[in-house]
């Protein structure tokens, strides 16, 4: 290729035909609440498969009427899937997964404000909860992936 003095155009060089593919895309990273017993922030973790990040406000109403509120965050294959799992979670009895000595009466899970997004760490990092919610929150990601 011939260039003239002062020519600032990009000069392309021929290749030898060896085109290496681009590096595979990094997996989506989402804030995931796993161990919240101490009320700390959610941790950013890579998702095990392509999908979405999600965040939902969860409430556990105990049999005595007291409520524990927390945020459930993590990865899911799709927003439809996490919505379905949250609905199943709200229909199942926490007695199936919790120690009955910790709860009185018939408790109930409730999910509100499910938000899904597809960019790294788009589901926000804070996820503080009140006392006693750590056990429940630590079960959320496990239940979500088990039910999928």
Instruction: Give residue-wise pLDDT tens across range 82-139.
Output: 999 988 878 876 555 555 555 556 678 888 899 999 999 999 876 544 433 333 444 4
Q: Does residue 71 fall inside a structural domain? A: yes
Question: Is 98 inside a domain boundary?
Answer: yes
Q: Give the containing element (helix H, strand E) for 72.
A: strand 67-76
Residue 22: pLDDT over 70: no
User: What's the pLDDT at 15?
Assistant: 46
Assigned domain for 34 exists: yes
Count the domains in the chain.
Answer: 1
Report yes or no on whether pTM surpasses 0.95: no
* Domain membership flag for residue 4: no
Is 10 among the domain residues? Answer: no
As a whole number, mean pLDDT of residues 140-146 equals 48
Residue 41 lies in a domain: yes
For residue 51, tell me if it sits in a domain: yes
The per-residue pLDDT for 83 is 94
Question: By residue range, what is the domain housing residue 42?
Answer: 29-147
Instruction: Please write the tens of the pLDDT for every residue from 54-85.
Output: 999 888 888 788 888 888 899 999 999 999 99
DSSP count for the chain of H helices, then E strands: 2, 5
13 within domain boundaries: no
**Sheet architecture: strand order including 108-117:** 67-76, 52-61, 108-117
pLDDT class of 14 with cuts at 50, 70, 90: very low
- Asked whether 67 and 60 are in contact (CB, 8 A), the reply is yes
For residue 34, pLDDT beyond 90: no
């Amino acid at each position: 290729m011939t260039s003239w003095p002062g020519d600032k155009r990009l000069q392309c060089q021929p290749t030898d035909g060896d085109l290496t593919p681009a590096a595979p895309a990094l997996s989506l990273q989402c804030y995931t609440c796993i161990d919240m017993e101490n009320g700390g922030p959610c941790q950013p973790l890579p998702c095990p498969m392509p999908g979405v990040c999600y965040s939902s406000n969860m409430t556990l109403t105990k049999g005595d009427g007291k409520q524990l509120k927390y945020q459930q965050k993590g990865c899911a294959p799709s927003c439809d899937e996490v919505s379905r799992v949250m609905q199943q979670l709200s229909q199942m009895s926490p007695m199936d997964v919790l120690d009955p000595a910790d709860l009185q009466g018939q408790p109930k899970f409730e999910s509100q404000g499910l938000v899904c997004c597809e960019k790294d760490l788009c589901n926000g990092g804070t996820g503080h909860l009140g006392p006693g919610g750590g056990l429940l929150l630590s079960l959320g990601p496990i239940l979500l992936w088990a039910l999928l």
